[in-house]
């Protein structure tokens, strides 16, 4: 028996030693993979492709016949089932409230479409060709810069958002004020396959390849070094860009910082049992227990499984189906702003947004027919080729700032983030707000971003 115990203890010691050794190896950052910065993603072979490097003003005006057809579609009788009794958005978009939204869209919003279109045109829109793709972007330069340091800023949106998310924060970033020594030249592109940006014609265009296109766009505009800010996919694309191209990254700020590396996952599990080792007690509400986290993800991530496996099927059901498209997109602006909003009959949609702003975003997807191509990014993000890049193990050395808004989908602790973001100079917590911070709380996000820029001394 004594020999058996000694053997078991020896085996346990060897196992612990192996775990510690592997942990140390996994914790060490790996070199950035080399991606082809000129890879062609347009249609055909690209054998005769010659890139048009010109930057042209871009008219986002919708064709009148598309608007007229949309009006006709919204005039059709709605064949919706009644919601269950005493149900808000728990089963999805409440059909009674959807009728009100569609009526407003048809009778009020489209009646003033020229006003809404003028609003969407309030910033200068441009287009250029990058790696075989026509890329759309908003470009706003500050008009007054006296006494201010001007920094180029790449502003990246996510799904199911668009550049519309940034309409309230862009003026804050580009207009000098007494509280900041900085002002920004903002470049806000539509991600590839989103809005007015052309979609990849080829497979394997994932977040890493998206970051190459975004970096090349900034170089095209003459910015060899720039700051990056983003949430949702914009956070991942921005993080990839900072990992792959440190020579171009002045700083990285996100309202959805994440690290999905193996050590980070180990720490997430450990934090469930030993929370005091990983975060301060006053921040406990930001970090769900293991059970709550997975319960939440199972309940709220069905869209992701659809889009990561069969994006073209779900896309086909939504394309040119305005009622379904509005319900599918706007439901995320309910539960992702605050999951408790699902218990309200209107999903709490107008607690933080106006119907005009929400419908502006839906219209961008509808007018550009980009719902399918936007969803393909989920499928490409989970391919073997994308996973093998291991970008969560490639360090970001640039100054990094992370803002957490309480009701966002999930949060990482600083302990998790510091394995990837080696120069985490700013970490903040806000007990309000959710996933779409730039659209929901633009002033708060702006203030946080400025705090980061000051700390990073950019």
Question: Which residues are known to be catalytic?
Answer: 232, 378, 435
Nearest CA among 145, 121, 3 for reference residue 62: 121
Nearest CA among 407, 457, 456 for reference residue 427: 456
Q: How far apart are CA 169 and CA 241, in angstroms?
A: 22
- The DSSP secondary structure of 172-196, one letter per residue, reads HHHS--TT-SEEEEEEEEPPTTSTT
- Name the token pair of 84: 């269950």
- Read off the DSSP letter of residue 109: I
Q: How far apart are CA 175 and CA 170, in angstroms?
A: 8
Q: Would residue 166 be called left, alpha or beta, if left means φ above 0 and alpha means ψ between -120 and 50 degrees?
A: alpha
Grouping H, G, I as helix, E, B as strand and the rest as coil, residue 138 is strand
- Read off the DSSP letter of residue 28: S
> How is the beta sheet containing 182-189 ordered, strand by strand?
56-57, 125-130, 133-140, 182-189, 149-156, 226-230, 249-254, 400-405, 424-430
281-to-275, 276, 277, 285, 294 alpha-carbon distances in Å: 8, 7, 10, 8, 21
133-to-242, 360, 379 alpha-carbon distances in Å: 22, 24, 20
Residue found under tokens 């319960």: 295
Q: Where are the beta strands (DSSP E) in 103-248?
A: 125-130, 133-140, 149-156, 182-189, 226-230
Return the CA Rg of the chain: 23
């Amino acid at each position: 028996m004594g020999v058996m115990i000694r053997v078991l203890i020896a085996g346990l010691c060897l196992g612990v030693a192996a775990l510690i050794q592997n942990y140390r190896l996994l914790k060490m950052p790996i070199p950035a993979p080399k991606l082809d910065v000129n890879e062609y993603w347009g249609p055909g072979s690209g054998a005769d492709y010659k890139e048009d490097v010109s930057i042209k003003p871009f008219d986002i005006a919708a064709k009148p016949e598309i608007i007229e057809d949309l009006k006709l579609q919204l005039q059709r009788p709605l064949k919706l089932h009644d919601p269950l009794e005493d149900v808000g958005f728990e089963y999805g978009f409440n059909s009674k409230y959807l009728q009100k939204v569609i009526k407003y869209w048809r009778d009020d919003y489209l009646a003033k479409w020229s006003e809404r279109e003028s609003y969407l045109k309030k910033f200068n829109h441009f287009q250029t060709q990058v790696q075989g793709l026509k890329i759309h972007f908003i470009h706003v330069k500050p008009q007054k810069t006296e006494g201010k340091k001007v920094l180029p800023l790449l502003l990246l949106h996510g799904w199911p958002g668009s550049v519309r998310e940034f309409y309230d924060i862009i003026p804050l970033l580009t207009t000098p004020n007494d509280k900041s020594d900085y002002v920004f030249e903002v470049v806000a592109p539509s991600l590839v396959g989103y809005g007015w940006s052309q979609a990849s014609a080829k497979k394997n265009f994932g977040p890493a390849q998206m970051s190459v296109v975004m970096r090349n766009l900034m170089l095209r505009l003459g910015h060899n070094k720039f700051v990056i800010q983003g949430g949702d996919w914009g956070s991942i694309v921005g993080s990839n860009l900072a990992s792959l191209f440190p020579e171009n990254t002045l700083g990285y700020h996100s309202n959805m910082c994440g690290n999905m590396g193996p050590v980070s996952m180990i720490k997430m599990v450990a934090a469930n049992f030993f929370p005091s080792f990983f975060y301060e007690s006053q921040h406990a509400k930001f970090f769900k227990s293991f059970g709550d986290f997975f319960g939440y993800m199972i309940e709220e991530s069905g869209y992701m499984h659809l889009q990561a496996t069969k994006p073209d099927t779900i896309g086909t059901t939504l394309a040119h189906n305005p009622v379904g498209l509005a319900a599918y997109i706007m439901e995320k602006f309910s539960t992702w702003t605050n999951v408790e909003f699902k218990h309200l009959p209107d999903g709490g949609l107008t607690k933080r947004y106006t119907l005009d702003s929400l419908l502006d975003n839906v219209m961008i997807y509808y007018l550009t027919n980009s719902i399918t191509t936007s969803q393909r990014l989920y499928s490409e993000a989970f391919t073997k080729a994308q996973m093998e890049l291991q970008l969560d193990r490639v360090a970001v050395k640039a100054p990094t700032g992370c803002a957490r808004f309480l009701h966002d989908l999930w949060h990482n602790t600083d302990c998790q983030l510091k394995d990837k973001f080696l120069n985490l100079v700013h970490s903040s917590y806000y007990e309000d707000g959710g996933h779409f911070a730039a659209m929901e709380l633009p002033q708060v996000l702006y203030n946080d971003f400025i705090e980061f820029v000051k700390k990073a001394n950019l």
